[in-house]
Structure 1
Amino acid sequence: MFPTRAAILMCLTAPAVAAAQTPAFGGFVDTYFAYDFGRPAGRDRSFTTQPARHSEFNINLAHLEIRLDGERLRGRLALQAGTSVQSNYAGEPALGGASGPALARHIQEAVVGTRLGTGLWLDAGIFFSHLGSESFLSRDNPTYTRSLIADYSPYYQAGVKLTWTPSPTLTAQVNIVNGWQNISENNDAKAVGLRFDIMPSSTAALSIYHFLGNEQPADAESRLRAFQGASLKLMPSGKTTLIGTFDFGWQEGAEGGESSTWHGAALIARVQASPKVAIAARVERYADPDEVIVATGSENGFQVNGVSLGLDVSPVRNLLWRIELRGLGSKDRIYPDRGEAGGASTRNAFLVTSLGVTF
């Protein structure tokens, strides 16, 4: 078939359009050292993904990215490595020979998008999750370590999303994804997600998010999972930021069985003491007694309270040194501790310091 006049015109103009959109390159390296006072024998820390290792200099996250931001076209490709990556992608499904964490964990994002209309974008690929208030990138969070509700909700997802921004104060998003933090499928179902970001003023922002899907393997009975949460961010002054987040989840029980629920909350305060120094504190709670999300094998499941205090120093632009002390307490002896009888404790504490650079 011979090309039409319109097709020829598109071929001639496409290079000019592409040339007008110059890609930007960048990266981030987050190095760390953590000391867990329980001194886990295998050096792997339990129940948090950041920091993942004890008494060891290591890389929490390193990524290289290429980004395109145009009027009608956008995209981001970011490749990554680090101990938080290994921890977060350990549960990636492996069905068949072309799936599993070996390759998937090195793709932070591979997403392309096109503008369908004013304020309306369609994106597809692998992208950051629409759930929660914290980022996978430590530099973008008010505390160095992520809260329990962040660690136990998805950081990434694969699918398509439709984002509509009708005004500077409102953004709405609809997602159709493979599932709850998985790139490869584990069943024939797809999950649906919603998110609304509302900014009524320059000092307040509210985010509401939802997830609905079946997360059981293909050979198991379908069990619906519903998850919702809300996060309120207040900036009463140019130096103080307050963030409160609450999440609630429900999952259908097995045939003839009762359904299960879990919930969590975090309160974070951050004060910019000077242009180069900030202090952050957090209190948190996570309760998953039926172990839908977190498996402990204990009588009461994963029911944990936590507190942390951190100091951030940015001596020069794009360089950030952080130090944080964090304590966690559980109903049961779930934390490895070489100093306790039986090798486990209801308490865990660790100190972590990080040096990160953005380029």
Structure 2
Amino acid sequence: MNHFMKKYAAFILACSIHGFLFSQDSITKLQIAVRGEGYFNVSTGGKQEIARTFLVSHNSNNIPSINLLMSTVSFQSKQWQGELSGLIGTYAEQNLAHEIGPFRNIGSLWVANKPLSQIEILVGVYPSHIGLESPVSMDCMNPSRSIVADNTPYYQSGIRVRHEMGDDAIALHFLNGWQRSSIDSMGIIPAMGYEYTTKRNEVNVRVSGFVGSATHQENEGIRYYQHIGLTYQPRVDLSIAGSIDLGYQLKNDIRTFVIAPVIMGQWKMNESIIMNGRVEYYHDPHGMIIGNASGLSAIGYSMGIDWKAMSDILLRCEYRSVKEMRDVMNTRNDHPVLGLHLQWFIAKYLM
């Protein structure tokens, strides 16, 4: 880890300690938590293999695996909040492989302050403002992640300025590239994000975007990315979510683009049994985000059932199929997978 990276990490830790110490004059909550997910994907290939390269979550087939094991320490007071989490698993191995040193196992490292009741300033490594899904499966409608979720940032680093206005909120993000927490010898990758969220009765709306450089590569132009997502809950036991993502970037003098709509749903049959499903389409014909020259055009669906064994333990089963529509070299290109997932969450307040 270079000298600048050490200063960067030390600065965030110092801010976190400062916030914790100077919040002792008010009620402070200190919590430790452990989240985990084991899974076993059975594919038609019948052998141990890595799933398609465009997936970073649940990407091992025919072998029991840990997708995510994350330990978190967080604190919260009237004006200050902070969080530090470390993680391991196949998700971290795939999605954080480009990071430097210990940042390959850092899920979050941030501190936030509220100078005014409606204004919050956050600095560090924190969850992405783009999308409806999280790397923590227990927080999501479906056991697996959609293609678009696995190909947009799950986390980001920089500074966020957020203004809350009742049920509405707007935020500006001053970022270090497209999903990057570490800073290499070439310095920060300049980028910006924006976000608007609103809640109206049963409807939640999120409009978010990204404008800036994704990498240090000189042959890549500015990336423009727009996400529009909506969650509708007409009843306590029924939730429906939909989103569309649009992207554009000039790469190697080629105008590349992405179109990715998704619809997800969840129905709680009773206190223990939950049904879920998803339909998705992902079109990146020139490899704007997908890491190959031929790009990707795929349609997929999933159906699942969950059993809530305890308040903090969830057993999930899902059948998923993704058909690569432009895979002309492979006569069988639908790749169905049956996945079994065991997810758990343990938390304890120390203060």
CA contact (8 A) 2:85 2:106 kept: yes
Query: In structure 2, which of residues 62, 83, 91 is the aligned counterpart of residue 84 of structure 1?
Result: 91
1:193 is matched with: 193
Deviates more, 1:238-247 or 1:21-30: 21-30
Deviation readout 1:248-275 (Å, 9 max, x if unpaired): 0000244xx3422111011011100111
1:236 pairs with 2:243: no
Q: Which residue of 1 aligns with 2:321?
A: 327
| SS of structure 2 residue aligned to 1:48 | coil
> Aligned letter for 1:314?
K
Shift of 1:45: 1.1
Q: Is the 8 A contact 1:138 1:145 kept in 2?
A: yes
* Letter of the structure 2 residue corresponding to residue 236 of structure 1: P
Determine the structure 2 residue equivalent to 1:348.
335
Structure of greater Rg? 1
Inter-CA distance 245–40: structure 2 relative to 1 (3 Å threshold) = farther
8 Å contact from structure 1 (residues 121, 162) kept in 2:
yes
- Residue 15 (structure 2) aligns with: none
2:112 maps to 113
SS in 2 for 1:17: coil
SS for the counterpart of 1:194 is: strand
Gaps of 5+ in 1: 1-10, 93-99, 335-341
Amino acid at match of 1:240: L
Paired residues for 1:6-85 under 5 Å: 17=24, 20-39=27-46, 43-46=49-52, 47-85=54-92
- Tell me the secondary structure at the aligned position of residue 50 of structure 2: coil
Query: When the two structures are superposed, what TM-score results if normalisation uses the length of structure 1?
Result: 0.85
Rounded to whole Å, the distance in 1 between the matches of 2:156 and 2:110 is 11
Identity of aligned residues (%): 22
- Kept after mapping to 1: 8 A contact 2:281/2:298: yes
Distance 1:18 1:39, change over 3 A: farther
Match of 2:14 in 1: none
**Is the 8 Å Cα contact of residues 142 and 277 (structure 2) preserved in structure 1?**
yes
Asked whether the 8 Å contact 1:278–1:311 carries over to 2, the reply is yes
Contact 1:239–1:271 (CA<8 Å) still a contact in 2?
yes
Displaced runs of 4+ in structure 1, greater than 6 A? Answer: none
Q: Is the 8 A contact 2:178 2:215 kept in 1?
A: no
The C-alpha deviation readout for 1:40-77, integer Å capped at 9, x for no partner, is: 66x21112222111111121111111111110110011
1:23 aligned counterpart, secondary structure: strand
Give the conservation status (yes or no) of the 8 Å contact 1:295–1:302: no
Aligned to 1:262: 258
User: 2:171 matched to which residue of 1?
Assistant: 173
Q: CA RMSD in A?
A: 2.0
How many Å separate the matches in 2 of 1:248 and 1:123? 27
- Structure with the higher fraction of residues in strand conformation: 2
Give, in angstroms, the shift of residue 86 of structure 1.
0.8
Cα distance, 1:40–1:170 mapped onto 2, change above 3 Å: farther
Query: What CA distance in whole angstroms lies between the structure 1 residues aligned with 2:289 and 2:181?
Result: 18
Q: Judge which range, 186-195 or 51-60, deviates more.
A: 186-195
Residues 75 and 224 (structure 1), Cα distance of their counterparts in 2 relative to 1, 3 Å cut:
same
**Secondary structure in 2 aligned to 1:153?**
coil
Q: How many pairs are equivalent?
A: 324
> Mind listing any 5+ residue stretches in structure 2 that lack a counterpart?
1-17, 347-351
The CA distance in 1 between the partners of 2:237 and 2:273, in whole Å, is: 11
Q: In the alignment, is the contact (CA less than 8 A) between 2:251 and 2:288 conserved in 1?
A: no
